[in-house]
Chain A
Amino acid sequence: MSPAIAAILIQDGVVNGAIYGLLALCLVLVFAVTRIVLIPQGEFVAFGALAYASFAEGQVPALLAVLAVLSLAAFFLGLCTEPAGNERALAMSTLAVPAVSIIACLVLTPLRLGPAMDAVLAVAAVAPMAPLLYRIAFQPLADASALVLLIAAVGVHLALTGIGLLAFGAEGMRGPAFMSGGVRLGGLDVSFQQLWVVATALVVMAALAVFFATTLAGRALRATAINRIGARLVGIETAAAGRVAFTMAGLIGAASGVLLSPLTTVYYDSGFLIGLKGFVAAIFGGMAVYPLAVAAAFGVGLVESFAAFWASPFKEAIVFATIIPVLIWLSLSAGDAVEEEG
């Protein structure tokens, strides 16, 4: 292998690793706060990418209808389960945001305002689904065991895959690049889109670090992650923490999808495999340590890229096999990721 080829493979691995890193962050965040292994995370990525590609073609995706249905379902479920007197807050959180998104998408799409607006609309159409899904599928189970939550997550994943097929069709879509062209960095052609991916990933990661370290909401999330009962005792509403975690997962997932869309063709069911690679990285971080998960995500991207060059038939097997030593190590040093509330 010549150095030039190695450099291109590294570049490819870093770009994919950045996407996996964003997903790994969401998975760790959601798991820490809610104990849910967020298998549907990949669907947010696929939907974000497909919605971006649809808006870029001037089409309003049928996904908006799904958002409307979820929004109404969450509202009526809330009316039945939440104490009286909360209706205003409930309507604000379940109806207002999706309504604004839907109206914005319907009004702005025909105007064809360019990739930046398409990207914003795609995130606006997809991200609100995450907290609604939390209210409908997970909040009623918040105190169930991690296994029940995992099964619920699998159920949501399967349902979303089916919805994706209905909303976007079986064939894939590829969105336009935010900026065409690229630059030459040290003998290596780097497209602007690739720079966008890596830069956005780094900015989001830095923003998350600041959010958790300095803001009250970030600290509340961390407190919930460390000890749910303790957090509740000091007045943190754990259901709200779960919704915040899901909202962030939805936002980051949809944004990753938008970033990915110009680089490859995305299908309604592409999300699962992408999410699974983010999950491998999250496992490296013991589902708890953010920097480790991000580093592992770049590692997964690089392993994938080099495995594709050397032994393409075994690429996925090689990527997923890297998880085995980590699992052995984690189970030998038990105590890190062991569930305390069972």
Chain B
Amino acid sequence: MRGMRSVATGLLSALLLAGAARAQDKPIHIGVIASMTGPAAALGIPQRNSIALLPRELAGHKIDWIILDDATDATRAVADARKLIDEDNIDALVGSSATPASLAMIDVAAEKHLPMIYMAASAALISPMDAQKRWVFKTPQNDSLMADAIAAHMAASGVKTMAYIGFNDAYGDGWLAQMQRAATAAGIRLVDAERYARADTSVTGQILKIIAASPDAVLVGASGTPAALPQKTLKERGYGGRIYQTHGVAVKDFIRVGGKDVEGTVLPAGPVLVAAQLSDANPIKKVATDYVTRYEAMYGPGSVAAFGAHAYDAALLLTAAIPVALEHAQPGTPEFRAALRDALESLHAIVLTHGIATMSPDDHNGFDKRARVMVTIQDGAWKLIEE
């Protein structure tokens, strides 16, 4: 009888202990919304792939990554966000891949008091700062940072006039506005601005008009492989000036599709694109090469895309902020979400694959000039331009 009682007591205390342990190890749920299908699939797929490289455990808590696809559709992104909040009770949200869907999700994040980190680029997502946007952060560089870099490179190479051809969407609009500002500041005149659609089979009309304006340089404001078409047409029509691209083309497929016509292109990009060529003194090199090595170990040599690193950077920010937030509250509670937001906002000099982020109440991107390098294409590979 005595033996029985001691066994029962032992079992009970074991159960209690286990219960206590479970309470302490309450899992952290993080939602990820990526555009794995639709027009932004080229961004969303490497981002989804990067999630697989992320830690499953942090500070004694299991981390549960829940990934949904928004099909590059703003309505679907909002529905996904609500589902993750209501059904999975997430503590933070990473997403989405493209600007329109991300813009639509701000309302949800602010309404539910949920910290959210974008993988989309537009500066309009986080500025001007207001009561809603204080809940959202962003890992890709602002277009303005990249546009300034292009304008500086143009001015240094003696470019006086430039033309622009870009996507007929938010990406093209944003870049045109930023480039106009940066070019004017650098004393460069924009002589022609043309548009085309991602699915267009020909841009001959636009290119003829650009060539007729005879600019010293042309900037293509497009992303992924569709950015190769204007450049190929420019070469076909015998354009001899320098051609600039945006960091939207920082994928291997762009070089594959563009072939020898994209040799010598100049573009600004995140340091991760040329991780191995960075100087050893650069703290970004270690983080970036680590990401590239792990990604390629999992998905094959040459498979890494700079876009995927935005997801990885978002996770690095969370990894840095979660331990701080855990000191204030338990995961799954509104207090934890608020603490996580505060912790993200006070992050200082966090080294990411794309740059070094120092957040502030006004700047939820936190990057400075170290977050961009100028790159050219040489012999079918990215080559860092030393400054």
Contact = CB atoms under 8 A, between A and B. Distances in A.
A212 to B, nearest CB: 29
Interface string A152-184: 000000000010010001111110000000000
B209 interface: yes
Given A312-B194, A313-B195, A264 B202 contact: yes
Main secondary structure of the interface of A (DSSP, over half): helix
A21 B305 CA distance: 38
B42 A264 contact: no
Interface in A115-168: 162, 165
A309 B205 contact: yes
Contacts, number: 101
Nearest to B42: A170
Interface stretch (A91-99, A235-243, A269-277, A285-293): A269-277
Given A5-B212, A312-B194, A305 B226 contact: no
Interface stretch (A8-16, A79-87, A245-253): A8-16
Interface string A254-286: 000000100111110110111000000000000
Contacts of A266: 201
A330 interface: no
Interface string B174-207: 0000000000000000000011111111111110
A315 interface: yes
B168 to A, nearest CB: 6
Nearest to B194: A312
B257 A165 contact: no
A17 to B, nearest CB: 11
Given A165-B41, A170-B45, A312 B204 contact: no
Given A12-B202, A312-B194, A316-B197, A5 B208 contact: yes
Given A264-B229, A313-B195, A307 B205 contact: yes
Nearest to A161: B37
B141 interface: no
A315 B197 contact: yes
A274 B198 CA distance: 12
Contact of B203 (A272, A308, A316): A308
B205 A306 contact: yes
B245 to A, nearest CB: 15
A313 B39 CA distance: 19
Nearest to B43: A170
A162 B37 contact: yes
Contacts of A306: 205
B229 A265 contact: yes
Contact of B197 (A165, A172, A173, A273): A273
A312 B205 contact: yes
Contacts of A9: 204-205, 208
A270 B201 CA distance: 9
Contact of B205 (A12, A172, A265): A12
B342 interface: no
A308 B203 CA distance: 7
B47 to A, nearest CB: 12
Contacts of B198: 267
Given A269-B199, A308-B196, A308-B202, A172 B208 contact: no
A23 B214 CA distance: 37
B268 interface: no
A274 B201 contact: yes
Given A9-B205, A265-B229, A273-B197, A170 B41 contact: yes
Given A5-B212, A171-B257, A315-B196, 12 more contacts: A9-B205, A9-B208, A165-B37, A171-B224, A264-B200, A266-B201, A270-B199, A272-B199, A308-B202, A310-B205, A313-B168, A315-B168
Interface of A: 5, 8-9, 12, 15-16, 19, 162, 165, 169-174, 260, 263-267, 269-270, 272-274, 304-310, 312-313, 315-316
5 contacts: A5-B212, A12-B202, A171-B253, A312-B196, A313-B195
